[in-house]
Structures are given as structure tokens and as C-alpha cells.
Structure 1
């Protein structure tokens, strides 16, 4: 697999996302599974919604490092995009065959004929939440009025979540100020110095904050309890035209999940090998321990025991849509309008024991 950073940064606005749906495909639609059957690797372009690699995406590094894409006859090129909106734009416009993104851009694009649909889960749970430093006098969403909420960026999905949560709970989406605090050391400093009263981040970001010694308390958002977070999406055309490729991609990722659970330390080392910048400057023992804690957040609730990796739960997906509808972001529609759950059996059609053995023998 060849990995490169997307060179062209496109607009993250919803309007531009919708406009992208009218673009013609960029040639990737002409590929088929025939090349895999002839012994060649089928090229696949994958848009991943993340500005950088981190332990929360160790699964996607393991797919490459352990050769699971190649086992499935795929040659995958991964491009990173700063937001789910931008990743969705690439897929809708034909610049990528599929993408990894949270639920908002596909749901919001439903009424605008974006024509994207999910075919596999990656975030089995809603990943965004509101949290406050321990000892804060903010104990409910109503208490956020007039406060400052730290977000990675004002245009981030976490910021959208904060505004939606406030609106859904009756205090208005502008009741609190959103303060961009970036990531890493900048983020930690903003929290410790009291620049913000609350946070609107996502699950692995919170674990990274905790790894830095900051104690946080969740602020309940009942509307997103047991909601679905997002996963792999493609165009509706590709659901049929590239079904075999999508199933092979999903199976490669499922193998990586099994590997990560069996040997999380080896998974983090795979990430470091492919993306050395994720190693950080901490002593190896702490860096490994912190990375494993972040990875464990991603592994939670994935469906290992009953071999349902990649399955999309309709009730959880519906809760996500209900939350967005409650804030007026979308009109209510059936969840099945933007996802299919017909492929997860194929994703799990491999020897889990063989992958576990591979993981346990890894250095």
C-alpha cells in the first residue's frame, strides 16, 4: 500500500461537499476485480478523514504492515483529509473509491443527492462527547451558557457536535463560545491553563488528554447514548459495481482488527514503523502504554466474539440520525437510506485463529 498526504486541501463547507457530488469520476470507476483474479493487485484509492496518523488509526496501519491488503488482492493508496466533509467530497466526486468518515456528511448530504452510503462500521459507538475538567461547576449542558468550549478547530466535527448538543438541549447553538485549541501539547496547555471551561472532542483525543495526566468528567448528552459513530462509505454506484472490492477491503480491515486485539503492542509498533512521527518523545515504555490505551478505545464494542466485525447496527444508526434531526441538521429519514449491511458476513470470512497466531508471533 502506498500512503501519501493529500496535497490539495479542499473546502470543508457543506456547500462545497454537495457541489462535489456533481463532479465526474476521476477514472477509478473503470477498475474491477478482474485484475485480482488474474493475479494482479487491484488499485484502490482510500480517503481517510484524519489530519494525521495516531494510535486511534493503528488498525489501518496494521492492514498495510501485516500484508492484509495484499492477501485480499488490493493495492491501496491512502490519502488523509482534515475532515469527514472533505473525505466525503473526494468519494462523491470520484477522487477516491471509498472513504472513512463519521456519520454527519453522508446524513446531511442525503437530501442533496450526495449519493453516498456506508457499507462497513469502523466507529461502533458515537465518538464525540462533552467533558469538563474534574471539579468544574459545569454539571449539565445548561451550565455551558456563557462558557468557553475547547474544540480542535471551529470547523471540526466536534464543534458541530457541541453546537448540535446545545441546540438539542434548548440553550441555542451559540450559547457558548467555541475556542480552537488544536491538538497535542497546545491542546493540553489550553486545558491545564483554564483557557476553556469544557471540551468537545472525540474519544481517542480524550484518551490522549488523560494520558497527559488531565482528569476529566463526562457531561452527559443523552441523545447520543448508544448511537453509531461512522465507518467506510462509497457511492451507491460502487455498492454494486465494486461489491467484490469492497468486501475484500472490509475483510482486510477485519483481519487487522483481530490482529490488534490479539497483540496491541505489535499493532502500535507497526504504526511506529510506517509513521515514525507517531512515536513521540516519551520513553518507550510510556509511549507503548499510552498508545495501547488509545487503541483499546477503538477496539471496544467491535464485535469480535460473535464475528460481526464491520456490522452496522440499525438501531444505533437511527439514534445518530435522530440526534441530527432534533437539531434541525437533517430531515428524518430511514437509516437504511444511507447504509447497507449485506457485506459483514463476507468481511468475517477468514480464519480468525490464523490471524491471532500471526499476531502472537509478531515481534
Structure 2
């Protein structure tokens, strides 16, 4: 799998969505039923919404390292993009066959004729939340008035979530200050030194913070309880023209999920093997344990027991759109207009036992 970073950064998410819709309408996407074969494998270009690799994406490393793409006859090139909006742009414009992104850009783009649709789940739960360090005097969202909320960036989805949570609790979206604290060591330092009173991050970042020894307490946001987080999306055109490719891709990822659940330590080692920079400088035992904790966040609630990996729950998807509509980000529409659950049975059409055995033999 080849990986490169996207270098084009556009400031406005809405501008990106509009540009994307225009590009897509210009027919930049191939008219063929699927990519040309290459060395017996079908090339697929995949846009992943993450600025870098980390243990939260270990499953997407496993799918390559353990040969699951190849088993499904695919040669996948993965390109990383800093935001879900930019990943959506690439897919809509034909720069990628499919992408992994949270629900916001597809839902917002629906009203702008972006014409993207999800075909598989990845984030079974809404990933953003508000949390405070243990011992904080902030006990509810109302207590955030006049406080400082740490976000990865002021234009991040976490920041949008924080503003919306304030509004939904009868406060001005400016009732609290949003303070960009970046990621990694910079983020941890801002929290430990009291530069911020609360956090508006996503689930994997919270686990990384906990791994650094910071105890956190969530501030419940009722509107996102049981909401869906997002997953793999493509154009409606690809949904039909490349259905077989999408099913094979989804099945390869499902195998990787089963492998990771059966042997999470091996999954983290696969990540390290492909992307050594994710290993960090901690002693191996601690690095492995911390990585497994992060991966476990992603494995939770995926649908292993009833073999429904990749299934999108309509009630959860509707809940996510309800939250976005209440925030004024979209005009409400039926969730089915931006997803299909017609493929998840094909995703799970493989021997779980064989993959589990493969995982158990892995180092």
C-alpha cells in the first residue's frame, strides 16, 4: 500500500464542498465499471481522513499487512487527508474511488449536490465529546461559561461540536473560549498545566490523553447519545458501477477487524511494521499496551458477535443528522439518502474462524 499526504489545504470546509460538487459535475470520474487490472489485482485509490497514522487506524494497517486486500484481488493506494471534508472532496471529484470520513461532510454536502453516500460503517459511535480533567469544578455544560475549551484546531470538527453543544444548552456559542492545543505532547502539556478547563476532542485523542496519565470525566451531550460516527463513502455512480470492488474492499476491512479483535497486540505490531513512526519512544511493553487501549476504542460496538461488521444502523444515522440539523448545519432529510446497508452481508461472507486462527498464529 502506497501512502502519501495531501498537500492542498483549503481553509473553508464549505468552499471545499462547493468546489467538489462542481468538479464532480464536470465528469472527472472514470466512466468505466472499475479500474483497469494491474498485475492481476484491481487498483483502488482510498482517501483516509486522518493527518497521520495512529493506533486508532491499526485495522487499516492490518488489512494491508496481513494480505487481506490481496486476498480480495485489490491493490489499494491509501492517501491521507487532514480533514473529512478534504477526503470527501477527493472522492466526489474522482480523485479517489472511496474514502473514510465522519458524517459531517457527506451530510452537509447532501444539500449541495455532493452526491456521496456511505456503504459501510467504521465509527460505530459518534466520536466527539466534551470532557474535563478529574477534580474540575466544571460539572455540566452550563459550567463552561467563561471557561477555556481545548480543541485540536479552531476549525476542527471538535470545535464545531463544542460550539453546537453550548448552543443546544441555551448558551451563546462564544460563551466559552476555544483554545487550539494541537496534538501529542503539546496537547498533553496544555491539559496538565491547566491552560484549558475542558476538552472537545474525539475518542482516540481522549484515549491518548488517558495513556499519558490524565484522568477525564465526560460532560454528557444528550443529542449525540447513540449517534453514528461515519464510515466509508463513495459516489452514487461508483455505488453501482464499482459495487463488486466496494464489496471486496469492505470484506477485506471486515477480515482486518476480526484479526485485530482476536489479537490486538499483533494488530499494533502490524501498524508499527508499516509505519514505524507510530511506535514512539516508550519502552515496548508500555507502547504496546497503550496502543492496544487506543485500538480497543475502535473495536468497541462493531458487530462481531452477530457478524454485522460494516452495518449502518438507521436509528443511529438518523440521530447524527438530528444533531446536525439542531445545530443548523443541515436541513433535515431521511438518513437513507446518504447511506446504504445493502452490502454488509457480503462484507461478512468469509470464515471468521480462519481469520481468528491466522491472528492467533501471528506474533
TM-score category, normalised to shorter length: over 0.9
Quick check: 1:280 aligned with 2:292? no
Q: Is the 8 A contact 1:11 1:86 kept in 2?
A: no
Residues 1-363 of structure 1: pairs in structure 2 closer than 5 A: 1-23=1-23, 24-26=26-28, 28-30=30-32, 32=34, 35=37, 40-363=40-363
Report the CA distance between 1:83 and its aligned residue.
0.6
Report the CA distance between 1:326 and its aligned residue.
0.9
Looking at structure 2, the residues matched to 248 and 172 of structure 1 have their Cα atoms a distance apart, in angstroms, of 47
Q: Is the 8 A contact 2:36 2:43 kept in 1?
A: no
Superposition RMSD in Å:
1.4
Q: Is the 8 A contact 1:29 1:97 kept in 2?
A: no
Q: Which shifted more, 10-19 or 141-150?
A: 10-19
Q: Is the 8 A contact 2:17 2:112 kept in 1?
A: no
TM-score scaled to structure 1, two decimals?
A: 0.97
SS of residue in 2 equivalent to 1:21:
helix
Report the CA distance between 1:339 and its aligned residue.
0.4
Looking at structure 2, the residues matched to 122 and 56 of structure 1 have their Cα atoms a distance apart, in angstroms, of 11
SS of residue in 1 equivalent to 2:22:
coil
Looking at structure 2, the residues matched to 304 and 29 of structure 1 have their Cα atoms a distance apart, in angstroms, of 36
Looking at structure 2, the residues matched to 125 and 119 of structure 1 have their Cα atoms a distance apart, in angstroms, of 16
Q: How many residues align?
A: 361
Task: After superposition, give the CA deviation of every residue in 1:175-206 in whole Å (9 maximum; x if it has no partner).
Answer: 11111100000000000011101000000100
User: Which runs of 5 or more structure 1 residues have no equivalent in the other structure?
Assistant: none
Q: Is the 8 A contact 1:51 1:81 kept in 2?
A: yes
Looking at structure 1, the residues matched to 168 and 31 of structure 2 have their Cα atoms a distance apart, in angstroms, of 40
CA spacing shift, 1:29–1:91, aligned 2, 3 Å:
farther
Task: After superposition, give the CA deviation of every residue in 1:92-113 in whole Å (9 maximum; x if it has no partner).
Answer: 1111111100001111111111
Looking at structure 2, the residues matched to 108 and 334 of structure 1 have their Cα atoms a distance apart, in angstroms, of 13
Looking at structure 2, the residues matched to 11 and 310 of structure 1 have their Cα atoms a distance apart, in angstroms, of 32
Task: After superposition, give the CA deviation of every residue in 1:270-319 in whole Å (9 maximum; x if it has no partner).
Answer: 00000000000000000000000000000000000000000000000011
Q: Is the 8 A contact 2:6 2:82 kept in 1?
A: no
Report the CA distance between 1:12 and its aligned residue.
4.6
Runs of 4+ off more than 4 Å: 25-29
TM-score scaled to structure 2, two decimals?
A: 0.97
Q: Is the 8 A contact 1:18 1:89 kept in 2?
A: no
Report the CA distance between 1:151 and its aligned residue.
0.5
SS of residue in 2 equivalent to 1:99:
strand
